[in-house]
Amino acid sequence: MENAEKTLEVINDLIEINNDRVEGFEKAGRDLEGQDSGLTAVFNKLAGESRQNARELSALAQQYGGEAASGTSTSGALHRAWMDIKSTFTGSDLAAVLNECERGEDAIKSAYKDALEENDLEPELAEMLQKQQQGITEGHDLIKSMRDQAERSRDRFSEGNTGQYQDAASNSPELEDAEQEEAYQHEQTSGGANSKLMEFFIDELKDLFWAENELVDTLPDMAEAATSQELKTAFTNHLAETEVHVSRLEKIFGILGLEPDTTKCDAMAGIVDEGDSIISNTEEGTAQRDVGLIFAGQKAEHYEIASYGGMVSLAKTLGYYEIAELLVLTLDEEKTADGLLTEIAENHVNYDAGHEPSDD
């Protein structure tokens, strides 16, 4: 009985702090209203995740025969950070708003960590919390990197001016005139949208769009050529992900008000050619062919990881947070695909190939 009460307490605390987070992000979104930075989309997404977390936790509370909490938290040091946010947002200063959000994200992150450190958690609850914790950690890391970027951007801007408002955690700076205010907001929300950097970003986007489309054509051939079922499945699954990567890039072009366009990516074309020669230089049905295909696949993944990693940083510098978020999703999938290929190689493919006789 005592354990059931404890379980319900853990669940209800987390429901409340998720509700705090929803309110915090909604408030943050309203404070930035009118700034076309795409940040509101990120806030909405994270608020949506917390709404889903609260729903899942409520269902579990009812399953344990208890009553699920429905409001936000009213006490507890742990919940203070989000509570503070609700009262300390002060306007449209991007770095200040993100700084408050980051403190809230710290609070929910430690709430999940503390909950998971409780003894005797029901296995079902522990599993749910671990899954939710992953999303919370990713949300925290994203907000933190955006906050750091916004602060760097503000600090650089202030260095280039009269040296006022150096305190990164301070609120919106006192600016001398409307023109300076506009320049400051521009720097904060869309840093250099007409710059050479923006041109480069769009060129790289076209490059990636070509590369992803090329992989949509190539991955089925790689799956067909592979010997082991495990590798065939890995390529087929990554084909489905790659189709999503293509559509995410289309969405990004759309956000920028552009039609999707390609520039031939010589690097990916070379990697694909290399894959083709591996297929023609290895014998069908051998583990050696799989070794070669895994090499080709990982070269493609590493090219994508390098490109997407750089593009995430550029998107943040340029103030396109919604785009950064989309690129992070793809980047994570590329890393997972790469890790899976290493696993397949090390599980058996490399070993099996080492036991195949050479031709001479």
Which residues bind to Fe ion, rule: CB under 5 A? 242, 245, 304, 334
Which C-beta is closer to Fe ion: that of 16 or that of 304?
Answer: 304
Question: Tokens 């759309």 — which residue?
Answer: 254
Which C-beta is closer to Fe ion: that of 111 or that of 223?
Answer: 223
Give the H or E element holding residue 53: helix 39-63
Report the amino acid identity of residue 76: G
Residue 246 CB, shortest distance to Fe ion, in Å, is 8
Residue 8 CB, shortest distance to Fe ion, in Å, is 43
Is the C-alpha dihedral spanning 308, 313, 314, 318 positive or negative?
positive
d(CA 138, CA 306): 20
Which C-beta is closer to Fe ion: that of 10 or that of 305?
Answer: 305
d(CA 126, CA 113): 11
d(CA 294, CA 286): 13
Residue 42 CB, shortest distance to Fe ion, in Å, is 21
Residue 336 CB, shortest distance to Fe ion, in Å, is 10
Q: How many CA atoms, within 13 angstroms, populate the side-chain half-sphere of residue 241?
A: 18
Which C-beta is closer to Fe ion: that of 81 or that of 215?
Answer: 215
d(CA 323, CA 236): 26
Read off the tokens for 252: 């990004």
Look up residue 357 and give its DSSP letter: P
Which C-beta is closer to Fe ion: that of 106 or that of 243?
Answer: 243
Which residue of the chain is nearest Fe ion when measured via CB?
Answer: 245
d(CA 189, CA 123): 44
Read off the tokens for 328: 């992070």
Burial-class residue 300 by CB neighbours within 10 Å (0-12, 13-18, 19+). buried
Residue 340 CB, shortest distance to Fe ion, in Å, is 11
Tell me how far the alpha carbon of residue 161 is from its chain's centroid: 34
Which C-beta is closer to Fe ion: that of 183 or that of 267?
Answer: 267
Residue 305 CB, shortest distance to Fe ion, in Å, is 8
Which C-beta is closer to Fe ion: that of 57 or that of 311?
Answer: 311
Residue 322 CB, shortest distance to Fe ion, in Å, is 19
